[in-house]
Structures are given as structure tokens and as C-alpha cells.
Amino acid sequence: MIPQQDSIRRTLRAIAVFEAIKGLAALAAIVGLLDLMHHDVRHLAIELIGRFHLNPEARYPTVLLHYADLLPNTDLHLLELLAAGYVSTRWLESYGLWNDRAWGEWLGALSGGLYVPFEIGHLLHRPSAITSLVLAFNVFLVCFLAFRLWRRRSG
């Protein structure tokens, strides 16, 4: 294999692993969230705030309590459907990229490109180093996959 092709293959596989991990993290989060449905979530949030000696009136503890109140009234079927769609998309994209499929690159470029406008908006409203890094990584990913698709088409 040509050294350049080897580095491209490694990059594709690294992106594939990253997407698979995102899918796995989403699956773990939804399983954890579903498990919380069987508990008094507000009480757990209050205990968590107390354990870390946080001010319940501060911004993040207030947000935590707000979402703890919303969770019991959440439509679980819609949440499960959205999570299943997200996890399936991440794993399908990962499979396609790992096996160097054009459709995997299309899926990765399109799904990654959907986030860019939101990330730019977030960066404009709440600039931070992490937001900048996430945006830069996502733009790199989309550009890399778009370039690969362009090369496929022209080559």
C-alpha cells in the first residue's frame, strides 16, 4: 500500500472508531437515563448537589434540578426512537468508514455537516477553547470526508 493511502486509511479508521465510541456513549447514556426513570430523580439530584457541597441556587445545580423535574414527564418512546436512530447512524457510519465505503463517507460528511451551524452559533454565544476545538475537529472531519468523496468522483 502507498504510504499516503496508508495514512488516509488510518485516518478513516480513526474517524470510524471515534464514531463508534460516540454511538456507544449515546447507548450508555440512554440506558442510564432509562434506569433513572425508576428512581426519584429530583431526590437523587438534591443528594448529588449536597454531596458536592454545591449551592442549589447556582447555575448548574439549578439546571440539574430543572431537568430532574422534566425527566419523569418525558415521552420515553420518542426518546428511545431518537436514541436508536442516533446510535444506529453512528454505528452505520463507523462500519462504512472502516470498510472504506463511499456511502460511509457521505453519511459522515452529511451528519457531521449538520452540526457545524449549531457549533458556530454556540461558539458565537459562548466562546470557549473546547467549543473551538469541537468545531475545528468537526470541520476537519467534514472537509476530509468531502475531499475523499471529491477524489472518488474525479479519480
CB 41 within 8 A of CB 72: yes
Cα distance between residue 150 and residue 155, in whole Å: 8
**Same domain (yes/no): 82, 115:** no
C-alpha pair distances (Å), 50 with each of 14, 18, 61, 132: 40, 35, 10, 33
Of 62, 88, 114, the domain-final residue? 88
Indicate if the pLDDT at residue 92 is higher than 90: yes
**Same domain (yes/no): 78, 125:** no
**Same domain (yes/no): 114, 140:** yes
pLDDT band at 138 (very low <50, low <70, confident <90, very high): very high
Of 88, 119, 136, the domain-final residue? 88
CA atoms within 13 A on the CB side of 8: 14
**Poorest-pLDDT segment among 39-43, 111-115, 147-151:** 39-43
pLDDT band at 116 (very low <50, low <70, confident <90, very high): very high
Which residue matches cell numbers 470510524?
Answer: 16
Cα distance between residue 148 and residue 108, in whole Å: 11
Indicate if the pLDDT at residue 104 is higher than 70: yes
Nearest alpha-carbon partner for 49 in 76, 70, 22, 67: 67
Phi-psi region of 32 (alpha: psi -120 to 50; beta: other; left: phi over 0): alpha
For residue 4, the enclosing domain spans 1-88
How confident is the model at residue 1, as a pLDDT?
56
**Same domain (yes/no): 82, 109:** no
Task: Return phi, psi of residue 50, to 5°.
Answer: -65, -40
**Same domain (yes/no): 76, 116:** no
Indicate if the pLDDT at residue 129 is higher than 70: yes
**Same domain (yes/no): 3, 34:** yes
Task: Return phi, psi of residue 80, to 5°.
Answer: -65, -40
Q: Give domain status of residue 32, yes or no.
A: yes
Where is pLDDT greater, at 32 or 106? 106
**Same domain (yes/no): 16, 40:** yes
Where is 101: in which H helix or E strand?
A: none
Contacts of 107 (CB under 8 A, 6+ apart): 89, 92, 93, 96
Q: How many domains is the chain partitioned into structurally?
A: 2
